[in-house]
Structure 1
Amino acid sequence: MNTYPNVTETKDLIKQLVSIPSPSGNTFKVIQFVEEYLKDLSVETKRNRKGGLMATIPGANNKEHRMLTAHVDTLGAMVKEVKSNGRLRLDLIGGFRYNSIEGEYCEIHTSAGDVLTGTILLHQTSVHVYKDAGEAKRDQTNMEVRIDAKVENAEDVRALGIEVGDFVSFDPRVQLTANGFIKSRHLDDKASVGILLQLMKRIKEEDVTLPHTTHFLISNNEEIGYGGNSNITPETVEYLAVDMGAMGDGQSTDEYTVSICVKDASGPYHYGLRRHLVQIAELNEIGYKLDIYPYYGSDASAAIRSGHDIIHGLVGPGIDSSHAFERTHETSLIHTENLLYHYLHSKIIAY
């Protein structure tokens, strides 16, 4: 296997990315961060009207293009109600469960640009007061945000500038361990974004010409289903989503290899592209696992649903505990980056 050039740098970059709040619908700051990073590399970028970012590296063949995509939007919430007790009721953004955010620190982002901190708690948290603290359902009715301010009623809360529709982001709690793990919220999909940024840096530093003009879409609405379904050039033949591999019972994906998805809730991915990716992995001694994600969709499947005539695929690092307290290992980052690197240096498959 080829040596990954900057795995420490990649992990540090992922740490920076997950530390920038970016729930779907409020991704301006993280897109700006990516835009500045690519500007320093002299990579051409353009924002789309949805707020996503397209980066382009010209290749030898400008008639048949490739597109890779990863998303910077994350799970999060909005203020659904300012409650009479001075706390906030939430409405979730993205597909996850309230139990995965119980006890989590959060930030409330007001429309005026202020940021207030708080904690997401069950209303009946105190076992000294509530007999049903253990059995109460973790849902929109019972979960609330305790704001770190002296508030006793809805009027006090509104005086802080908090209102219905304000975004709420979750503390990522990112940690890099000495033995190579990175654990954090929002590795879905900021781990992949970090990999793509490092990949573009590697291509620019090596001053190589790719066989095909290649676009990198940093999408910002994937968690709500439509991040990567537009801005696909007519010349695009292959469209590869780079997103997390989901782990669990019955899955083959792990934290130490690159996951190649063969099918998800949208149906099978392109068989020819899948075989091409496997051949690249085996030729270059890249550790990989083939897998099916039964409750999953990607920007590539969104692109297919929107009617684009493309060859679509999905690969990514293996992520444990997806949409909760996520974790992966640097070896998964290594294998994913190397697969993508060699893929970009290959020719588009015959179809």
Structure 2
Amino acid sequence: MSLMTIDIPYLSKVLEQLLAIPSPTGYTDEIARHVSKELDKLGVFYEVTRRGAIRAKLAGKKHKPARAFVSHLDTLGAQVKSLKDNGRLELVPIGHWSARFAEGARTTVFSESGAYSGTILPNKASGHTYNDGIDELPVGWEYVELRVDAYSKSVEDIHRLGIDIGDMVAIDPATEFLENGFIVSRHLDNKAGVAVMLAALKAMVESGKKPTVDTFWLFTIAEETGHGATSILTPEIASLVAIDNGTSAPGQNSEEFGVTIAMADQTGPFDYHLTRKMVQLCKDNDIKHQKDVFRYYRSDAASAIEAGADVRTALITFGVDASHGYERIHMHALRSLAELCTSYSMSPVEIQRDAREFAGLKGFTTQPTEDADQDLAPDSEEPHPEPVGAQN
């Protein structure tokens, strides 16, 4: 199977645009509008849910069993917890991320009166004042505060600015695209996955080829808080492939190059057959790949299963260094993922029975149960000697 050509400049441009739009969970209207307009440009049909999740569709040669890809538009962020007597803001995180990575971050606070820039600082931020106290301060959200870039020295000053409890705080991405293909930024999780899906969609549309079956492209808005793909699947979708980040770190097998295929996450193993299909497609198309298992990780796929969706799930990822912090990825992984998306969309359906929600055993899948062949010793063509007293 020949790979479709992925427009790398387009992928890069779309990712840069997505990263520039603040979208912490709960504040995703603008990015939903942006992605919808991009789908309009590509000529792809889509629908938007009440809250702003997007379900796009490429019609296939057959309607069932439909397939779907999913990425999330929302990112980590923060919210104003209280107004402090010193004119600064106490924060709580949106999503799970360490205050260690919040210290020093530039931010935007969205108030009823408008947006304000600011900086998240440790409660003890000046070495000239606190000396060793700045190094002795523990790490945690209760030990940081947001300094707004406006005159604010009291609770009254904060009220005057129009800032209040519950206001949303976006973390500036500080994005860098390097000439060697590396991309450094916050929020690559999962704006990079969204860019991969749009680039794959562009390649599919421009090829003029229909996918094997109806293929949905889902963009969710609350994955970082655990909701994800809970209410966006349709009954005909039998297989769901999540595109998200893989954690490249000591003890993990993920890489910043090629596709990292997750075999399991903290919610358990992914579907045996769909996962192995992803691996086989990589082998068939010479797409660099590796497998990994994530202990402290979940994605849109988990939320779909927990919501009761009877779908096969898989997770294909781009390796991210320092996930949920100052993240780094490489364009090679994004291109590889987009290629895998197009290959899967055009691949045949092996499990035809999946077109029905309920059916008999005819066509039901099988998994290996036979013992492995142990007749030959490693690196030897000679059979193992028979035990003494063995029968002929």
When normalised by structure 1's length, the TM-score is 0.97
- 2:217: which partner in 1? 216
User: CA offset at residue 151 of structure 1?
Assistant: 1.1
Matching residue's letter, 1:117? S
Q: Secondary structure at the match of 2:128?
A: coil
* Partner deviation per Cα, 1:47-71 (whole Å, 9 max, x = no partner): 1123211111111111211111000
Corresponding position: 1:116 with 2:116: yes
User: CA offset at residue 348 of structure 1?
Assistant: 2.9
Write the mapping of 1:296-315 to structure 2, written as runs, cut at 5 A.
Answer: 296-315=297-316
* Partner deviation per Cα, 1:68-97 (whole Å, 9 max, x = no partner): 100010000000011110000001000110
Q: Secondary structure at the match of 1:244?
A: strand
Write the mapping of 1:66-81 to structure 2, written as runs, cut at 5 A.
Answer: 66-81=67-82
- 1:129: which partner in 2? 129
- Which runs of 5 or more structure 1 residues have no equivalent in the other structure? none
* Partner deviation per Cα, 1:123-146 (whole Å, 9 max, x = no partner): 101111114101101223220001
Matching residue's letter, 1:218? F
Which whole-Å CA distance do the structure 1 matches of 2:242 and 2:350 have between them?
17
- 1:343: which partner in 2? 344
User: CA offset at residue 101 of structure 1?
Assistant: 1.2
When normalised by structure 2's length, the TM-score is 0.87
Which whole-Å CA distance do the structure 1 matches of 2:156 and 2:263 have between them?
53
Write the mapping of 1:163-312 to structure 2, written as runs, cut at 5 A.
Answer: 163-312=164-313
Q: Secondary structure at the match of 1:294?
A: coil
User: CA offset at residue 225 of structure 1?
Assistant: 0.6
Counterparts in 2 of 1:3 and 1:331: CA distance versus 1, 3 Å: farther
User: CA offset at residue 316 of structure 1?
Assistant: 1.6
Counterparts in 2 of 1:253 and 1:243: CA distance versus 1, 3 Å: same
- 2:151: which partner in 1? 150
More deviation in 306-315 or 1-10?
A: 1-10
User: CA offset at residue 3 of structure 1?
Assistant: 7.1
- 1:63: which partner in 2? 64
Which whole-Å CA distance do the structure 2 matches of 1:248 and 1:135 have between them?
27
Q: Secondary structure at the match of 2:240?
A: strand
- Which runs of 5 or more structure 2 residues have no equivalent in the other structure? 352-364, 366-392
Which whole-Å CA distance do the structure 2 matches of 1:111 and 1:149 have between them?
15
User: CA offset at residue 36 of structure 1?
Assistant: 0.3
- 1:52: which partner in 2? 53
Query: Identity rate of aligned residues, in percent?
Result: 35
Q: Secondary structure at the match of 2:344?
A: helix
* Partner deviation per Cα, 1:3-31 (whole Å, 9 max, x = no partner): 74321221121111011000001000001
Q: Is the 8 A contact 1:276 1:349 kept in 2?
A: no
Counterparts in 2 of 1:224 and 1:349: CA distance versus 1, 3 Å: farther
User: CA offset at residue 274 of structure 1?
Assistant: 1.1
Q: Is the 8 A contact 2:175 2:183 kept in 1?
A: yes
Which whole-Å CA distance do the structure 2 matches of 1:283 and 1:198 have between them?
21
| Number of aligned positions between the proteins | 350
Q: Is the 8 A contact 1:241 1:300 kept in 2?
A: yes
Matching residue's letter, 1:207? G
* Partner deviation per Cα, 1:239-295 (whole Å, 9 max, x = no partner): 111111111111111101111000000000011111111110001000011000110
Q: Is the 8 A contact 1:273 1:312 kept in 2?
A: yes
Q: Secondary structure at the match of 1:33?
A: helix
User: CA offset at residue 197 of structure 1?
Assistant: 0.6
Q: Is the 8 A contact 2:264 2:270 kept in 1?
A: yes
- 2:356: which partner in 1? none
User: CA offset at residue 231 of structure 1?
Assistant: 2.1
Which whole-Å CA distance do the structure 2 matches of 1:317 and 1:4 have between them?
18
Matching residue's letter, 2:61? A
Q: Secondary structure at the match of 2:142?
A: coil
Q: Is the 8 A contact 2:6 2:338 kept in 1?
A: no
User: CA offset at residue 204 of structure 1?
Assistant: 1.1
Q: Is the 8 A contact 1:273 1:349 kept in 2?
A: no
- 2:14: which partner in 1? 13
Which whole-Å CA distance do the structure 2 matches of 1:323 and 1:235 have between them?
34
Which of the two has higher C-alpha Rg?
2
Which whole-Å CA distance do the structure 1 matches of 2:323 and 2:217 have between them?
24
Q: Secondary structure at the match of 1:209?
A: coil
Q: Is the 8 A contact 1:238 1:348 kept in 2?
A: no
Matching residue's letter, 1:348? V
User: CA offset at residue 38 of structure 1?
Assistant: 0.4
Q: Secondary structure at the match of 1:238?
A: strand
Which whole-Å CA distance do the structure 1 matches of 2:162 and 2:300 have between them?
35
